[in-house]
Amino acid sequence: MCVVLWVVLKLRSIISNTSKLQKDIHYRVLAMVEANPTITQRALAQALGVSLGRINYGLRALIDKGLIKVNNFKRSGTKLTYVYLLTPSGVTEKSALTKAFLARKMQEFDALKKEIEALQLMKGDTDCLKKDNGQ
């Protein structure tokens, strides 16, 4: 019974972390597309440190949700370029994702700050703590 409960809790944690990661990627894609509508999927993948397939999958999900609109045009006779534009609902979603992203990062920052303080106390390094608190 305890093992089953542990597995269920572990799976929930993994799903939650995956969901957070997916939201972070969606946020970053929306932000990058808004800043540079002609960005390529390859450039997005490199900038975010994820595979090209994952970017393609994520962009399709954002397009299917109606958050991004895709237009294509020919630069030259042989090359095809895509322009990604945020829809009004994409701008709204980006705003909500920005707020959630910032809240998560602030929580991470607070947790890291507490962990650093605890490690410094364990080490006996209180001079550094005094500097951080403005003393």
Domain count, the chain: 1
pTM of the model as a whole: 0.61
- pLDDT (tens digit, 9 = 90+) per residue, 6-24? 565 656 665 556 577 778 8
CA distances from 14 to 3, 36, 48, 50, 79 (A): 16, 32, 21, 18, 41
Question: How many whole angstroms separate alpha carbon 36 and alpha carbon 66?
Answer: 18
- Residue 48 sits in a domain whose CATH number is 1.10.10.10
Q: Give the range with max mean pLDDT: 9-23, 63-77, 96-110.
A: 96-110
**Helical (H) or strand (E) element with 82:** strand 80-86
- The average pLDDT across 87-107 equals 87
Higher pLDDT, 51 or 81: 51
Higher pLDDT, 72 or 118: 118
| Both structure tokens of 129 | 């703590």
Using alpha carbons, select from 107, 102, 86 the residue that is nearest to residue 37: 86
- The average pLDDT across 66-75 equals 79
Residue 75 is predicted with a pLDDT of: 58
Asked if residue 53 has pLDDT above 50, the reply is yes
Q: Which domain holds residue 126?
A: 2-132
